[in-house]
Each structure stands twice: as structure tokens, then as C-alpha cells.
A and B are shown apart, each in its own frame.
Chain A
Amino acid sequence: MCDQTFLAITFGPCDNCSQNKPLMNIYLKNEPINYCSLCVELMACQGLAKGETIHTLKAESETLKGKLEEERAKLHDVELHQVAEKIEALGQFVMKTRRTLKGHGNKVLCMDWCRDKRRIVSSSQDGKVIVWDAYTTNKEHAVTMPCTWVMACAYAPSGCAVACGGLDNKCSVYPLSLDKNENLAAKKKSVAMHTNYLSSCSFTNSDMQILTSSGDGTCALWDVESGQLLQSFHGHSADVLSLNLAPSETGNTFVSGGCDKKANVWDMRSGQNVQSFETHESDINSVKYYPSGDAFATGSDDATCRLYDLRADREVAIYSKESIIFGASSVDFSLSGRLLFAGYNDYTINVWDVLKGTRVAILFGHENRVSTVRVSPDGTAFCSGSWDNTLRIWA
């Protein structure tokens, strides 16, 4: 049975069809209205049937884009770093490698923390998925996948299973048992099926549903038990490289970033793309929500990381330096959202002051590209995985 985790934020009579349904709050001609999602779709389709040609549609497309830009610009009264001038600058940061996890035979591509704040799952190019105890650096479980380039791995919220996938175009879930000798591969369950590589996966709030993104340009929500596709998300025009779920308090949305340079925000219930941001100049490799859920950060091959605010509907900060010319592969926030950790293809990790837009530290240690960076659930440390086959815990 799939876990019904979706809650309507407002529920009531639709202004158009008068039926009691979950409502979307939108503005038409500057008047706030509450339409149900069906009426929003119908409204958007009005006037499209008669006399349309590719030219009228393209012209309307251009006018709408212009109008979007205008609306966004009207509210651009100040820059985030200007507002942040009045707060204290951060002091010197001393962060060192506290643990080095060695054991992968090839590039580490992805990692995830368990909610118990000490276990980590990591996956690598050689097909191995390893579960580590980060305090002791012991390996607790190891699975060999039938494919190479395992680009995605995730820990289940209960800590009892891990999901992973890559060039096999699938996402598989392995239940973890306490018996070290048990063959994990035997219990494997194939959940997701895409038509191209799996780039990222994440459990929702329970072990019962998984969200995946793929090189086929789509994201999808799956029921783990039955393997059934619950919802699919179409809108990217190229490979989707990364996704991140909104923090649970803020509702049922997620953000995805891809090779089409766009970051899209999706409503998980309806499959609708609710907001889209296209200011990066190259592939977006990583997306991560700000802890409050009101914004998200991206890391891209254009050597910048950017912060987008969802309520202002625009980019509000760029984290870049002339000396940084290599792409950012992975980003994550510290617990309060003041620090942004970003791993780059020049083997370094840069730590940014999110509000002021300045770099506060640069961490050296890896001997090849940093492919993944994640802060631990209690914020005491963060872990980085690299093409040098190791993972490092920094604190």
C-alpha cells in the first residue's frame, strides 16, 4: 500500500467550478484567485484552439517570457548581499579532514547520510555500493551492482535499506540486514525503470516512495513495494542531473536541475512544473533546498553556484570568483543555511557565506574531482566523495 503523504495546503471551493478541491493560489490580472489545478490547466489552454499557428504561439511565448521578466524585475528592489551588509562577517574557519574512508576501487560518484548521523552509503564507478560507519571508518555492508557508474545512492529514512542505480537505467532497493554474512544482492528489489541512466534518487519521507531523475529528461515518483509509477514529471529538455525534496515542513515539492541549464520546481501531487529558473550558463549538476524551504542553491559547470528564492521567483545571489574556473559538482547547506559547501572539479571544496556572497574557506585534500558533498543530519560534519576513490569527513 502506498503511503498517502500528500496534504493540501488550502482546500475549499474553487472560484471557477465551485467544487471542493485542493486549490492553487494564483493571480489573474493582479487579482488573487483560488482555482483548483484542473481549472488552472483549462485557463491556460483558453484561446489556444482557435486560429493558432506555430507563429502566433511563438509570438505569445515571447510576450509571456517578456512579461515574466518584467514582473520579476519589478520586485528586484535590492540585492541579497546589500541587505546582508549589516550582519557580522563570519570569522576564520578551521575545518580539517577528520576521517578518510578508503575502500572503493574506483571513483566515488555519490553518497548519502543515514538519519542516525553516523552511517554513510556511497557508490562508485566500479559498481560497488558500500555502507560505512563514519565514526569508526568500518565498512558494514558492501554490494556489487550489475552495472558500472552507480551515479545515485540514497539511504532510507528508517536506516533499513539503501537505493542505488546508474547505467542500468534502474533504481534498486536493497534492504540492509544485521547479519553481515547475508548476501544483500539476493534481496534486491527493482523499483524504477527509466529509458536512460539514473542520475539521482531520493526517498520521500518514508521508505515507501522513491523519487528519481534520469538522463532521459524526466523525473518520476515510484511506489517501492509494487514498483508502480505514481507520477512522472516532464519539462526538462535534456538530461536531469540532480533533484532535491523540499524540507518536510514546507510541503510536497521538489527541485530538479539538468543539462538544459534549467532548475525546475515541481508539485509532487499534480506533476505540474510550478516554477522554472534559467540563468546558469551551463549544465546544472546539483540542486539543494535552503533549510527553510524558501530558496534553493545550484552548482553548475559554468563554475558558479547560485541561490534562487522561490517566493521572489528569481535568482538572488551568485557565488563565484574569477579564480574559480572549474565546474561545481555538488552543493549543500549547513544546518542554519548560513554556509554553502560546494565541491568542484578542481579538487577543492569552497565554503561560501550564503548571505554576503563571499567565500569563507577553501578546503584542499582530495586528489581528484570532488563529486559529492553532503552535510550530516545533525550538522556536526560534512562528507565529500571524490574521483580519487576516497570519502572524507570534515569538521
Chain B
Amino acid sequence: MVSKMSSKMVGSNNLAHARRMVQQLRVEASIERIKVSKASADLMRYCGEHAKYDPLLMGIPASENPFKDKKPCIIL
């Protein structure tokens, strides 16, 4: 008897779960999308515009990077 009751509970949980899945998929299916070519072009444009401000990409001189060790001074 107990096992029959618990399978009924699982049944209604499955229904609620399936209903939620369908709701979620309906929302997801209705969003606006753009082509990959346009999306890629935008990503590339962003990289291009910001590349010069990217220290790890361009490399900045040791004197400007607090982590790079500066050349030691030699006292002549």
C-alpha cells in the first residue's frame, strides 16, 4: 500500500515538472536571435576596439607594470 501511494506522489511531481519544462521551453523558444555572422563580427569588433587597452595582450613595459621587476640600478 505504501509503495503504491509513493508512486502516485511521484506521478504528480512528474506532471508538475513536465508542465514547468514546457513553460520554460515556450519562453526560451520565443526569444529574439541574431545570425552567428553578426554576433561574431560584434565580438571581433569589441576585441579590436579594446585591444590597445589590454596589458596582457599588448604587453606593457616593465616600468609600468607593478608586477614586473624593474631593472636594477647600477651605481657607477
Contacts and interface: CB of A to CB of B under 8 A. Distances in A.
A334 B56 contact: yes
Contact of A61 (B21, B30, B60): B21
A312 B34 contact: yes
A76 B36 CA distance: 5
Contact of B55 (A75, A77, A90, A379): A379
A91 to B, nearest CB: 9
B40 A84 contact: yes
A381 B32 contact: no
Nearest to B31: A26
Most buried by B among A26, A77, A94, A335: A335
Interface in A372-392: 375, 378-382
Contacts of B47: 336-338, 354-355
Query: Which secondary structure characterizes the binding site on chain B?
Result: helix
Given A57-B19, A275-B28, A336 B50 contact: yes
Interface string A9-40: 00000000000000001111000100000001
Contacts, number: 187
B43 A98 contact: no
Interface size class of A (residues with CB under 8 A): 35 or more
26 contacts: A26-B27, A28-B30, A44-B26, A57-B15, A61-B18, A61-B21, A76-B36, A80-B43, A87-B48, A98-B67, A274-B31, A291-B50, A294-B39, A294-B42, A309-B39, A316-B36, A316-B40, A335-B53, A335-B55, A337-B50, A338-B47, A339-B57, A379-B56, A380-B60, A382-B56, A395-B68
Interface in A68-94: 68, 71-72, 75-80, 83-84, 87, 90, 94
B63 to A, nearest CB: 12
